[in-house]
Structure 1
Amino acid sequence: MATVEVAERLQPPSPVTRALIGIFTLWQRDLLRYWRDRTRIAGGLAQPLLFLMIFGAGLSPWMGTLGGAPVGPDYLQFLYPGIIGMSVLFSSIFSAVSVVWDREFGFLKELLVAPIPRWAIVVGKALGGSTTSMLQGLLLLLLAPFIGVRLQVGTILLLIPLLFLLAFSLSSIGLVIAARMRSTEGFGLVMNFLVTPLLFLSGALYPLNNLPTWLTVLTRIDPVTYGIDAIRRVVLSSAGVPQPVIDQLGVTLFGYPLNPLLDAAIVLALGLFLIVLAARQFARPD
Structure 2
Amino acid sequence: MKRPLPDYPDELIAKFLSGNATEEEKQEVAAWEESHPDHPVLLEKLKKVWYSNSKVPLVDVDKAWGILENRIINVEKGKTVLPLVPWWLKVAAVLVLGFISVLGYNLLKDKQTETVWLALKENREERLPDGSIVALREGSELIFRESFEKNVRRVRLKGEAFFDVVSDPTKPFVVELNQLTIKVLGTSFYIHESNLSIEVGVKTGRVSVSVSNKQDSRDIAAGQKIRFDKATNDFEEIGQYADNRLFWKTGVLVYRDTGLEIVIEELRQIFQADIVLEGDVSGCLLTGRFEGETLEQILSEIQLSFGLEVEYGDNIKIISGGC
TM-score, structure 2 as length reference? 0.24
Structure having the higher helix fraction is: 1
Q: Which has the larger radius of gyration?
A: 2
Structure with more relative contact order (C-alpha pairs < 8 Å, separation 6 or more) = 1
| TM-score, scaled relative to structure 1 | 0.26
Higher normalized strand content (fraction of residues): 2
